Amino acid sequence: MFSKYRPTWTVDALYHLDTEELAQQKIKGVLVDLDNTLIAWNNPDGTPELLAWIAAMKEAGIPVVVVSNNSAKRVDHAIAPFGLMYVSRAMKPFTRGLKKAQQKLNIPNENLVMVGDQLMTDIKAANSFGIRSILVKPLVESDAWNTKINRAREKVVKKNIFPTGITWERKLIND
Ligand SMILES: [Mg+2]
């Protein structure tokens, strides 16, 4: 019942995803959630680590697409400093946005990964769409009210999937 929320990997932060490890896993394109995964509300310009990660991904030739449930206006404004492609109104946990991103990249599902901070939206969408996924720690704890409701539900799911708690890795390590 809870397996649809299970991520392939748990990594503490987006910027710890190493281009060589991604290549080893045959990952050729990365779909990434916006809020609390790529950037935090209190640091909209991104951290130096994030900027370095984006540069490393570009150099490695691994495209990154932001897949967000937010409006085009909001996403366009938010990611302007980073020069990334995006899909807005993605409707996660449904697969619409992931499908759009997949078509944009024209990379097969087995070579894609979705990175996000929420099991109920990001990871569920990835599992429904049939791609691997990486759960990351939310960048900040304080959040929008609708996310808070999701997080309450998410607590129940988390307890079932990770009964002894989540081990946040710095690498792609399979359990
Ligand atoms: Mg998020």
Ligand 1 centre and the CA of 67: distance in Å?
Answer: 10
pLDDT attached to residue 146: 63
Residue 43 confidence class, pLDDT cut points 50, 70, 90: confident
Q: Which amino acid is at 126?
A: A
Closest-CA residue to 70 (of 34, 99, 44)? 34
Q: How many CA atoms lie within 13 A of 135 on its CB side?
A: 22
Tell me the CA–centroid distance for residue 116 and ligand 1, in Å: 6
Q: Beta strand pairing status for 29-32 and 9-11?
A: unpaired
Give yes or no for residue 159 having a pLDDT over 60. Answer: yes
The predicted structure's pLDDT at residue 149: 73
166 alpha carbon – ligand 1 mean position (Å): 17
Specify whether the backbone of 94 is left (phi greater than 0), alpha (psi in -120 to 50) or beta: beta
The pLDDT value recorded for residue 44 is 87
Peptide bond into 108 cis (omega under 30): no
> What predicted TM-score, i.e. pTM, was given to this entire model?
0.94
Task: Please indicate whether residue 80 or residue 146 has the higher confidence score (pLDDT).
Answer: 80
Higher pLDDT, 157 or 173: 157
For residue 118, how far is its CA from the centre of ligand 1 (angstroms)? Answer: 6
Structure tokens at 23: 């290549």
pLDDT, average across residues 145-157 = 77
Alpha-carbon separation of residue 8 from 54, 65, 68, 90, 149 (angstroms): 22, 19, 20, 21, 24
Alpha carbon distance 36, 142 (integer Å) = 10
CA 106 – ligand 1 centroid, Å: 24
CA–centroid distance, 29 to ligand 1, in Å, is 19
Distance 1 CA to ligand 1 centre (A): 23
Q: Which of 17-21, 88-92, 140-144 has the lowest mean pLDDT?
A: 140-144
Give the Å distance between the CA of 164 and the centre of ligand 1: 23
pLDDT at 151: 74
Which whole-number Å values give the CA distances from 14 to 50, 67, 72, 96, in the listed order?
A: 8, 14, 22, 23
Task: Evaluate if residue 111 carries a pLDDT over 60.
Answer: yes
Q: Distance, CA 144 to ligand 1 centroid (Å)? A: 10
Quote the ligand 1 centre to 58 CA distance (angstroms): 23
Instruction: Give 73 Cα–ligand 1 centroid separation in angstroms.
Output: 17
Question: Is residue 38 helix, strand or coil?
Answer: coil
The separation between CA 151 and the C-alpha centre of its own chain, rounded to angstroms, equals 16
Which of these ranges, 4-13, 46-55, 57-66, 166-175, has the smallest mean pLDDT?
Answer: 166-175
- In the reported structure, the alpha carbon of residue 88 is separated from the centroid of ligand 1 by a whole-number distance in angstroms of 13
* High-pLDDT (> 90) share of the chain, %: 83
